Amino acid sequence: MILRHPGWNPSVLPPLDLKEQDIDKIAGEFEGFHQLFQDAFYRVEQTGLSQCYLQGLMSPLKRKSMEPIAINLMDTHRVRSLQHFVTSGKWDLDLLAQRHKEQTAKTVADPQGIFNVDGSDFPKKGKESVGVSRQYCGRLGKIENCQAGVFLGYSSPKGYVLLDRRLFLPELWFSDEYQQRWKKCKIPDETGFKTKPELAAEMIEDAHSSGLFPASWITCDSAFGNNPEFLDTLPDDLFYLAEVPSNTHVWLTRPQTGVPSYSGKGRRPFKVHLKKEEPKSVHVSKIAKDPCLDWKTVILDEGAKGPIIAKIARLRVIESRDALPGEQRWLFLRYCPESKETKYFLSNAPEDIAFEKMTRVCILRWPIEQCFKEGKSEIGMGHYEHRSWPAWHRHMTFVFIAQLFLLRLRHTLKKSPCINTTADLYAYESCAADETFCQRTSDTNN
């Protein structure tokens, strides 16, 4: 067993406050956990290499790419073996991903669960990696050479995990000049161009229709929330809490003419005379400054330095569709005093929905915003050096599996939630996630 081979150093585990009996328990837990995925591999050697790769992702190695993992956990001559296993080895990735979803459902599936969609970008210096292009990189906050991934997560009072992933291929990669790169990166011939919202919609439909993950809500960041076509394609039985940019226009009351005033820019579509008293649309950021808003304080999570506090408020507005008044929606606002940042969300939840229910969804939205940051710094999510399409998807699947193991480990050891560990980052067990907390918060503020 790889965790007990003579050269193994127990320090490769996350910095838990562990005793010797805990180390023995972890070794047994890891071996039993990995057996759940063995039918995806065709040879015994592949089983050992997958164990090594998972352990390396969970280790404190500064760089969690294949060479440091192989050298530190096996032997120098095994570097090529690990590289071949991840990049081009013959084993069943689809089955591995399906087993991950099945085991994830056993761990976190809950009637109060919600789906989360987000993008995550990976800066790259070269031009040969699959999907790399000069495009907006959220991590750097500017146009830069990077790969862009779309991810689906699931949050519940039992924990938080990532479920699925799609690599975004820019339109440039479908041009004739990229055909050689296309072949070198082993992109499947049937792959067609799809936008990020289209990729997200596919993953949501797959997860929702599988029946493994009960959910009534889907949350997403502004890259998806600002896309009306994406919101309109979501399953009818899912409410959304969709982040929108601060300059999003809404109406506080519905204009009777249904036509906004001309801004003076662009082509005037038709001549319209609005009454002077007709209400005008406003930016959501302006609404946030209204002193009449009823802000309430909630705890988003328990951080290493104490609770992470936010203030939230909501009100009914009329959404803007193609610069025209659309449906009535909830505008949900979340202000974090620590970062001094306000985020804005639109929701199609019914008018009579309880404030506490939307609060719970807002709280369960929080973990995915931290997941990518911690996943890249703690589990090597962005440390890969693979260039091919299969290798990128294989690496991300192993990251998901490592994340799931750490969550189960956190449940098994039942360590204090105050400990700042990798496992804690993914084990969302804060009292802030349940209805009891929501009720207590509401009572306190009332």
Q: Is beta strand 249-251 parallel, antiparallel or unpaired with respect to 282-283?
A: antiparallel
Mean of all residue pLDDT scores within the chain: 83
Q: Say what the pLDDT of residue 264 is.
A: 47
Evaluate if residue 257 carries a pLDDT over 80. no
Tell the residue number behind the tokens 């609404």, with chain if given. Answer: 287
Q: Say what the pLDDT of residue 192 is.
A: 95
Q: Say what the pLDDT of residue 248 is.
A: 95
Q: Say what the pLDDT of residue 303 is.
A: 66
Q: How confident is the model at residue 137 (pLDDT cuts 50, 70, 90)?
A: confident
pLDDT digits (tens, 9 = 90+) for 374-432: 777 788 888 888 899 999 999 999 999 999 998 888 888 764 333 333 333 223 333 33
Contact between residue 130 and residue 166 where contact means Cβ atoms under 8 Å apart = no
Contact between residue 51 and residue 38 where contact means Cβ atoms under 8 Å apart = no
Q: Say what the pLDDT of residue 436 is.
A: 34
Higher-pLDDT residue of 186 and 369 is 186
Q: Which of 347, 356, 137 lies closest to 244 in space, CA to CA? A: 347
Instruction: Supply 283's token pair.
Output: 């930016």
Q: Say what the pLDDT of residue 345 is.
A: 96
Indicate the pTM of the whole model. Answer: 0.83
Instruction: Supply 104's token pair.
Output: 């994830």
Longest pairwise C-alpha distance within the chain: 83
pLDDT digits (tens, 9 = 90+) for 80-122: 999 999 999 999 999 999 999 999 999 999 999 999 999 999 9
Q: Is beta strand 133-137 parallel, antiparallel or unpaired with respect to 142-156?
A: antiparallel
Higher-pLDDT residue of 140 and 284 is 284
The fraction of the chain above a pLDDT of 70, given in percent, is 81
pLDDT digits (tens, 9 = 90+) for 306-329: 788 899 999 999 999 888 899 999
Burial of 246 (0-12, 13-18, 19+ CB in 10 A): middle
pLDDT digits (tens, 9 = 90+) for 259-309: 554 444 555 454 444 455 667 889 999 999 988 899 999 887 776 677 888
Evaluate if residue 351 carries a pLDDT over 80. yes
pLDDT digits (tens, 9 = 90+) for 187-233: 999 999 999 999 999 999 999 999 999 999 999 999 999 999 999 99
Count of alpha carbons within 13 Å of 299, Cβ hemisphere only? 20
Evaluate if residue 50 carries a pLDDT over 60. yes
Sign of CA dihedral 182, 185, 187, 192: negative
Q: Say what the pLDDT of residue 441 is.
A: 35
